[in-house]
C-alpha cells in the first residue's frame, strides 16, 4: 500500500492518485444534451429577488348560468288607485203584472208600483218623476188636448194686441212727440197781431201801442179800472206760440218805470179755432225790461192778458204795459 500524501499535496492536486495507476477505460459515448436557453429577463429578475415557482395556466371554468326569474316580465309596483264601486247588476223583471197608477223610471224605463219611492231595477228616485207627472196631469186638465193650436192662436192675439197698442200710441202721442221735437229744434219767429183790443184805455194810451215795437209808449186802462183790465191780440191764421215777452210799466228807465202802476199777476188765455181755450198763470217781477215766458200751445187765434194784481196801484195809478211780443214756430 502506498503512503499517504500530505494534506497540502491533496489540496494542490485535485485528482486522486489512483487515477494514474489504474488503466484508463475507454470513454463511453454520452448522448448530446441541448444547450440551455437563455432565460427571460423578467424571470431572471424575479428569480434573483424571491425564488418562486413557475406559474402554470389553469383551465378556464365553465360560466355560471343564472336561472331566469319568472316574474321579470311582470310590471313594476304602481301606486294604488281609488277603489271603484262595482256597477249594479240590472235584473230583468219579465213577470211584472200590469198595475194601475204605475210609474215609469226615467232612468231605465222600468215599470214600478205607484207606492215605490225608488226604482226596483236601478234604484233611481221616483218622487221627482211623480211630482212632474202630477203637474202634467193638472196642466192637461186645464188645457185642451190640441195645445199647439191654442198656443199659436194666443201668440197671434198677443201680436195683434201689441200692434193695436202701438197704433193707438202713435195716433194719440205721435203728433205731440213730433211737435215737442220741432219746438226744441225750431227758432222762434216774431209775429205781429192783426188786431189789438182792450177792456178800456186811457186817453193817448190805446191798445195798439203794445205792438208798435217801441217800449217807451204804453197801453194803460182807464182810471179806476186797473184790476180786471185786459188787452187782447188776434191773429189771422192759427199759430203755435212758443214764447211770450212782456214789457211791464211805462218805460225801460227805472225812474219813469216806478212813477206809474205795473202789472204783477196776469192770466193768459189762448183760444183755438174750435173755441177751446187754455189758461196760463204769469207772474211778473217788479223790474223794468222784458220778461220772457216759454210755452208751447198750438193753433192759437186769440190771446188775452188779464191783469189780476199790480205794483204801485195807489193814488189812482193803473197798471201799464209797454210792449207784448209773441213768437211762433216757423
pLDDT of 6 strictly over 50: no
Q: What is each CA distance from 323 to 190, 218, 251, 298, in whole angstroms?
A: 13, 7, 10, 22
- Residue 329 Cα distances to 53, 244, 291, 300, 318, angstroms: 144, 12, 19, 12, 34
The count of other CB atoms within 10 Å of the CB of residue 304 is: 20
For the segment 59-78, the average pLDDT, to the nearest whole number, is 61
Q: 135 falls in which pLDDT band (50, 70, 90)?
A: low
What are 247's strand-pairing partners?
A: 290, 323
Identify the band that residue 254 occupies on the pLDDT scale cut at 50, 70 and 90: confident
Q: Is the pLDDT of residue 11 over 80?
A: no
pTM exceeds 0.75, yes or no: no
Compute the distance between CA of residue 224 and CA of residue 201 in angstroms, rounded to an integer. Answer: 11
Cβ-contact 110, 121 below 8 angstroms: yes
> How many Å apart are CA 248 and CA 263, to the nearest integer?
6
Transcribe 38-92 into DSSP letters: PPPHHHHHHHHHS--PPP-PPPPPPPPPPPPPTTTTS-------PPPPPPPPP--
CA dihedral of 245, 251, 255, 261, whole degrees rounded to 10: -80
For residue 169, pLDDT over 90 is answered with no
Question: What is the tens place of the pLDDT at every residue in 72-105?
Answer: 566 666 677 777 777 776 666 555 555 556 778 8
The predicted-structure confidence for 274-283, as pLDDT tens digits, reads as follows 989 999 999 9
Mean pLDDT of the residues in the chain: 77
Three-class secondary structure of residue 17 per DSSP:
coil
What confidence tier does 17 reach under pLDDT thresholds 50, 70, 90?
very low
d(CA 234, CA 211): 12
Q: Does the pLDDT at position 146 exceed 80?
A: no
| pLDDT value for 21 | 47
| Residue 251 near residue 290, CB atoms below 8 Å | no
Of 64-68, 143-147, 226-230, 268-272, give the range with the top mean pLDDT. Answer: 268-272
Gap between the Cα atoms of 104 and 116, Å rounded: 11
Amino acid at each position: 500500500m502506498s503512503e499517504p500524501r500530505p494534506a497540502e499535496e491533496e489540496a494542490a492536486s485535485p485528482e486522486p492518485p489512483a487515477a494514474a495507476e489504474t488503466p484508463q477505460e475507454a470513454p463511453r459515448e454520452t448522448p448530446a444534451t441541448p444547450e440551455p436557453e437563455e432565460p427571460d429577463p423578467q424571470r431572471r429578475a424575479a428569480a434573483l429577488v424571491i425564488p418562486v415557482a413557475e406559474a402554470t395556466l389553469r383551465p378556464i371554468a365553465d360560466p355560471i348560468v343564472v336561472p331566469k326569474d319568472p316574474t321579470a316580465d311582470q310590471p313594476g309596483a304602481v301606486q294604488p288607485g281609488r277603489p271603484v264601486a262595482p256597477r249594479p247588476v240590472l235584473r230583468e223583471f219579465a213577470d211584472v203584472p200590469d198595475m194601475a197608477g204605475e210609474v215609469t223610471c226615467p232612468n231605465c224605463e222600468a215599470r214600478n208600483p205607484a207606492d215605490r219611492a225608488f226604482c226596483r231595477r236601478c234604484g233611481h228616485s221616483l218622487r221627482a218623476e211623480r211630482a212632474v207627472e202630477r203637474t202634467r196631469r193638472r196642466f192637461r186638465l186645464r188645457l185642451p188636448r190640441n195645445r199647439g193650436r191654442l198656443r199659436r192662436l194666443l201668440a197671434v192675439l198677443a201680436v195683434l194686441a201689441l200692434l193695436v197698442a202701438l197704433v193707438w200710441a202713435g195716433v194719440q202721442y205721435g203728433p205731440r212727440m213730433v211737435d215737442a221735437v220741432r219746438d226744441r229744434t225750431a227758432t222762434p219767429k216774431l209775429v205781429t197781431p192783426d188786431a189789438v183790443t182792450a177792456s178800456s184805455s186811457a186817453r193817448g194810451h190805446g191798445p195798439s201801442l203794445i205792438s208798435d215795437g217801441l217800449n217807451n209808449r204804453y197801453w194803460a186802462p182807464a182810471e179806476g179800472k186797473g184790476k180786471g183790465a185786459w188787452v187782447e191780440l188776434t191773429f189771422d191764421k192759427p199759430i203755435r206760440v212758443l214764447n211770450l215777452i212782456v214789457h211791464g210799466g211805462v218805460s225801460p228807465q227805472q225812474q219813469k218805470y216806478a212813477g206809474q202802476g205795473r202789472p204783477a199777476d196776469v192770466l193768459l188765455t189762448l183760444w183755438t179755432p174750435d173755441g177751446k181755450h187754455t189758461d196760463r198763470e204769469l207772474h211778473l217781477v217788479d223790474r223794468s225790461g222784458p220778461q220772457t215766458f216759454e210755452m208751447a200751445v198750438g193753433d192759437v187765434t186769440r190771446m188775452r192778458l188779464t191783469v189780476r194784481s199790480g205794483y204801485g196801484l195807489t193814488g189812482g195809478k193803473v197798471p201799464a204795459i209797454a210792449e207784448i211780443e209773441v213768437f211762433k214756430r216757423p
